[in-house]
A = this chain, B = another copy of it.
Amino acid sequence: MDSVLAEILTIADELLRTEKESPRAPKIRAEDMALGFDLSLPATGKSEAEVLDLLRQVVKRTPKTSGRRFFNQLFAGRAPMATAGEMLASLLNSSMYTYKVGGPNILLEWELSKKMCSCAGFKDGDGTFLPGGSLANLVGMVLGRNRALPGFREKGAQGKRLTMYVSTNGHYSVRKNAGLIGIGRENCIDVAVDENGRMDPAALQRQIERDLKEGALPAVVIATSGTTVRGSFDSIPDLADICQKFGLWLHIDGAVGGTLLLHPQYRDFLTGSERADSLTWDAHKMMGIPLTCSALLVKDPEILFDSFKEVADYLFQADSDHLNPGNRSIQCGRRNDALKLWTAWQRLGDEGWAQRIEKQMSLSRYAAKRISQHPKLVLCEQPSFITVGFYVPGKSSAEICEQLHVSGEAVIGYGDYGEHQAIRLVTMNPEVSEAEIDALLEAAVATAAALPAAAVTST
């Protein structure tokens, strides 16, 4: 084992060096990926050296999500020491259902929950960590479902039609979850947004009133703090007023934007969060924690137990309920996603997170400025967050993205900004320099110049 670990360190060093020195990585087509190395599973095992060679191939060919030309996603880069904590968590291989098995990792997960609840204004709140924002949203929706119709967990819908509400710019997991938890995708209702991409509170209220009139049971509003494409933040106070008036559960999908609660000024984007019932906050997005690390925070600490507790005598045998988070999780065996976040927090402190956010936000402002000054580029809107939409008039944004990927200049995607399909630059990785933003923009312009005029650039 020791010798393997030493080899892994060598592979890791090589990866980090490549990321730093040659961030460009041309696309490898799926049909070419396996050329020269065999991915299939053997009947007879290979030697350590042979397997290490295979791992070198996989590492070499894997897209570098921490490279400085990766602008594609709402995650990128690495928070200092987070990966170190993650590697040790892999080796310790704790399951986070009981204190008996998880030991100090259960306690440090608590510290994270408490701190994040305190940021959200959930004074006596609690949290549960989940593998991804989609599942964190699912838990928030289940909690609201169960509160709206208390027998739902035991008996199902009992003939009632529950409805949930999310803006047209909200994340697709909300609709998917409605299908999973027995609400029905049709009963997850899209609410119109204003010109800034924020849910229109008047439209929400009208929709709730209409559904009530039709005999439905409106149950949950999902406010989005940081929409996926445009980075919009719904007005939480406005939605909280409506939820209060009609008795609905308010869940905030802050998968990407929740992190702003760690910044003294930008936390205002989530003003009113203390009025919500639950909040999704992904630490693997803006905080640079290795995938996945999602918190679902709740104001009422009992509600997680009420919704997920089961009798499992074989498992919950020692220590108090609170020390056994398996009692309030949708999982049984659960990976230790806490240690990596805790490690990075020790290194950065609250102040370090604020600086990281500052850098991410300033990079998007820089990109917007450069785009708006550029004669060949059009900025879709002033970004208030960390996604920047722009396009090259007369050229297909989708095609530019594809060609940038093929040439290895950048990994970047596109999205709908109003009537335009635009290149969507995510300024997620704070290691990216302003010069690299400039280089990306020039590469996009040069790539566009080589493309034929597009028949349609609008959506």
Contact = CB atoms under 8 A, between A and B. Distances in A.
Find the residue from A134, A171, A182 having the highest chain B CB count within 10 A: A182
A23 interface: no
A333 B291 contact: yes
Contacts of A90: 83, 86-87, 90, 290
Give the number of copies in the complex.
2
A350 interface: yes
Interface of A: 1-2, 4-9, 11-13, 15-16, 27-28, 30, 33-34, 39-46, 48, 50-51, 54-55, 57-59, 61-66, 72-73, 75, 78, 81, 83-88, 90-95, 99-108, 111-112, 115, 131-135, 138, 142, 151-157, 159, 161-162, 171-173, 175-176, 179-187, 228-229, 282, 284, 290-292, 307-308, 310-315, 317-319, 323, 330-336, 339, 342-343, 345-352, 398, 401-402, 405, 411, 413-416, 424
A422 B103 CA distance: 24
Given A58-B105, A100-B411, A154-B184, A228 B15 contact: no
Nearest to A58: B104
Contacts of A46: 346-347, 349
B180 A8 contact: no
A62 B349 contact: no
Contact of A314 (B28, B317, B351, B413): B413
Contact of A310 (B66, B176, B186, B333): B176
B92 A72 contact: no
Q: Secondary structure at chain A's binding surface: helix, strand, loop or mixed?
A: helix
A153 B184 contact: yes
B48 A81 contact: yes
Contacts of A84: 4-5, 7-8, 55
Contacts of A176: 308, 310, 330
A335 to B, nearest CB: 5
B331 A94 contact: no
Contacts of A336: 291
Nearest to A413: B317
24 contacts: A1-B78, A4-B84, A33-B104, A39-B104, A41-B111, A42-B349, A43-B349, A44-B349, A46-B347, A46-B349, A63-B94, A65-B95, A75-B95, A83-B90, A87-B91, A131-B335, A133-B332, A133-B333, A134-B332, A135-B331, A159-B159, A182-B183, A314-B414, A314-B424
A92 B317 contact: no
B101 A72 contact: yes
Given A181-B182, A292-B333, A331-B132, A83 B73 contact: no
A91 B335 contact: no
Given A1-B78, A27-B100, A54-B343, 5 more contacts: A12-B91, A30-B319, A41-B112, A51-B81, A55-B88
A34 B87 CA distance: 22
A335 B184 contact: no
Contacts of A402: 318
B317 A347 contact: no
Nearest to A155: B184
